[in-house]
Amino acid sequence: MIFAAYLTCAIVFVIRSNNIDSWDKDIQDESATAESVKNSGYDFYPLMPERCKEVQNPKVYALLIEKYTREFCSEGEQYPCSAVGTGWSIAFGVNSVVLLLMSLNYVIYFLGIFFFYARLAASCMNCCMTLANMSGLVIVIVYRFSKLGEIASQCIDGSKYMGKDEELDGGNTFRSDAQSLSYVAVFQLLTFLPVCCIGSLPLRNGRN
């Protein structure tokens, strides 16, 4: 059950992370200035009113931008005055690796039905992956629920990159990406203690 959940989340995050990487790579390859890269990349697109045309609540979107600019941008500094933008690409990238490794560890647990040392290796890896899982959770919380994350979550423009000369696909939106990050954060939080505590139980059977 947990294996299926982790594997599903891993697949979703790997697909999104690869799509985001291809978007940012194409933009960096073709852009002449760093400013154009910043304004066009995945982490900056939903923050720019001139780019994000569809928002959940225009008044809230404008108010959040105004509040952020007032609180975090120095005089003369241009919004969004951030080096990483939303940071969601980092959250997707890190957690795609963590969730995939967590899934693979359950495959090793399965092999542990037949081999003691597989159970031992999986239990040791589980300790490490539990810490990695918590790190992934912290990264999601920091970037998803930051001030810029809240602004970006208002954007309902498509976020699926289809190519340099293609429109963004509305099958994914920045708002749905925000929801995906939120759901995974809840999942990681709920499974943290069970995975941490139950992961060593197979060793109680002893060596066959």
Quick one: pLDDT band at residue 201, thresholds 50, 70, 90?
Answer: low
pTM: 0.87
User: Can you say whether the dihedral through the CA atoms of 135, 13, 99, 188 is positive or negative?
Assistant: positive
Quick one: pLDDT band at residue 203, thresholds 50, 70, 90?
Answer: low
- Per-residue pLDDT, 32: 43
Quick one: pLDDT band at residue 39, thresholds 50, 70, 90?
Answer: low
Q: Which two tokens stand for residue 120?
A: 């031992």
Tell me the pLDDT tens digit for each residue of 54-101: 999 999 999 999 999 999 988 888 888 888 889 999 999 999 999 999
CB atoms within 10 A of CB 26: 14
3-state secondary structure 125-151: HHHHHHHHHHHHHHHHHHHHCCHHHHH
Query: What's the CA gap between 167 and 153, in Å, rounded?
Result: 20
